[in-house]
Each structure stands twice: as structure tokens, then as C-alpha cells.
Amino acid sequence: MTEIFGVSIDALFGQLLLGLVNGSFYAILSLGLAVIFGLLNIINFAHGALYMMGAYAAWIALTYFGIGYWPSLLLAPLIVGAFGMVIERALLQWLYKLDHLYGLLLTFGVALIIEGTYRHFFGVSGQPYPVPELLAGSTDLGFMVLPNYRAWVVVASATVCLVTWLVIERTRLGAYLRAGTENPKLVQAFGINVPLMVTLTYGFGVALAAFAGVLAAPVIQVSPLMGSNLIIVVFAVVVIGGMGSILGSIATGLGLGVIEGFTKVFYPEASSTVVFVIMAIVLLVRPAGLFGREK
């Protein structure tokens, strides 16, 4: 069998695929962050907590109301997205004129409150969420056994990412949004309700996080800490991709997932730091990030 640095090609293919699966989560989460930052200029630290809320919404729906995975995939983002809009109207809208730091601190506080509340009611060990029947089982690809559900994660998140990118970059609504960020007063003068648009955008970004949460529920234990384990890496992804760059966040998310996957084979101890090493290098060479534009 062919080997690279003592690791068989088959094993590397397996890791590549797993990297893509993890990268899909990074992509969809960092996409939400990028949308929010790009249009609202808010660094949304509550993103991890909202992702966790999405997973819990699905778990609660299943446990207490018998609502299965597929309806939850739509319901949870709607519910959590609505919750996000409440946060935006009640708290965030007062901070737009201030420095980024205030938004970061506020959302960080919100994240702590949400996590603390869930921890109080559910404990940290978390709850198991079953894989939906349609996707149960696994496929033998020859070089590895891939659970069908993980394949679905890649497909679902790729679709959502693509659609989001198309809407923002290629439609009239997207054009309004981009114009609204550039010069809100002028856009308002054309008769477009900018505050409403901003609220809906935040809601959408949050809904993306919740969607990722539902996707993750069958893969990892649904626990109040699931967001905080992930969010720092996701922020690094956004910074590497370029703050606010939609395409950047998607491409970097997938890319870093793969790099992290390989690190887990060659030097597993570094797998939690490799993303930050890359971040440091990228910031030194291209301070605006790989896909970001210098202002």
C-alpha cells in the first residue's frame, strides 16, 4: 500500500473527507458571522450559544413534542432566528454607532447568560439526539466507512452556503443589503426600510447558526458547552477568510477543516492550535484576511 510519511493513502482520504465534514460546520457558522459582521458591523460572540440553542431546540422538539429531525431542520432556525431578532431590537440596535468592541462585549455577555441558563436546566453532560432513520447506517467507501449522516452534513451545508452567497451577491435583495451597509441614509432615502432589513439580516445569521446546531445534534452530544468548544475556532476562520467576506468564510471554513483533519493524523497534539498558527501567519502577511479587502 502506498504511504506518505508512514500514513497510508487510504487513511489520508478518510481524513480528507472527515475534514470536509468538520469544515462544513465551520463554513456554515462562519458564514453566519460574516453576514452579520458584513452588514451590521457586529462581532457576534453569541454565535456559539445560538448554535447550541438550535441543537437544543431540536432536542426539546423531539423529546417533549415528538417532532422529528426534518421538521426541526426548518423549525429550529425559525425559532432561534426570531429570538435573535428580539436580541437585535432590544439590545444590539443601540450599539451600531459605537466601536466594535461594545457589540463584542454585549454579545459575549448574552452568550454567557444563554449558556448559564441551559447549564442550569440541562447540566453539562448533555443529551443524545438520534440520527434520523433515513440517514442511519453507513456506506463502505473502500478506504473508510462513512456514516450516511456525515455525507448529508456536507451536502446540506454546501447547499445552504451556496444559496446564501447567491442571494447576497446576485439578487436585488442582496444588492439592497450591501447598499444598506455602505450608506444606510442614502438607501433609506430611496424608500427602503433599513432598520427592518438589518433586523432580518441578524435573524438570518442567527438562523444559520441554529441550522448548524440541528445538523450537529446527531453527531455530537447536545450539550450547553457545544458552542463554546467551537466558537473560537470559527472566529479564527472568519479572521483568516477576511472579516465580512462571504466567499472567504465558506472557502476558509472548508479549507481549515481539511488542514485540521490532516494535523490530527500527523501531529494530533497540535490539532487544536493549528488554526491559530495559520491565523497568525495570515494576519502577518495579509492583515485583511485571505479574501478581505483593505479599507
Of the listed pieces 11-19, 30-38, 87-95, 178-186, which binds other proteins according to CB under 8 A?
11-19
- Does residue 14 bind other proteins (CB under 8 A)? yes
The three-state secondary structure class of 127 is strand
Between 144 and 156, CB nearer to other proteins: 144
Give, as ranges, the residues between 223 and 252 that touch other proteins (CB under 8 A): 223, 225-226, 229-230, 233
Q: Residues 89, 214: contact at Cβ < 8 Å?
A: no
Distance CA 118, CA 226 (A): 11
Phi, psi for 143 (deg, rounded to 5): -90, -15
Q: Residues 177, 165: contact at Cβ < 8 Å?
A: no
Task: Please pick, from the candidates 104, 167, 219, 288, the single residue that binds other proteins as defined by CB under 8 A.
Answer: 219
- Does residue 271 bind other proteins (CB under 8 A)? yes
The count of residues in the chain is 295
Phi, psi for 207 (deg, rounded to 5): -60, -35
Q: Least separation, in Å, of the C-beta of 263 and other proteins?
A: 9
Distance CA 161, CA 268 (A): 29
Task: Please pick, from the candidates 62, 264, 278, 292, the single residue that binds other proteins as defined by CB under 8 A.
Answer: 264
Cell of 70: 426534518
- Does residue 145 bind other proteins (CB under 8 A)? yes
Of the listed pieces 8-16, 28-36, 152-160, 175-183, which binds other proteins according to CB under 8 A?
8-16
- Does residue 22 bind other proteins (CB under 8 A)? yes
Task: Please pick, from the candidates 132, 147, 174, 195, the single residue that binds other proteins as defined by CB under 8 A.
Answer: 147
What sign does the dihedral 149-151-154-157 (CA atoms) show? negative
Q: Residues 93, 104: contact at Cβ < 8 Å?
A: no
Residues that bind other proteins (CB under 8 A): 8, 11, 14-15, 18-19, 21-22, 116, 119, 123-128, 131, 138, 144-145, 147, 149-150, 219-221, 223, 225-226, 229-230, 233, 261, 264-265, 268-269, 271-272
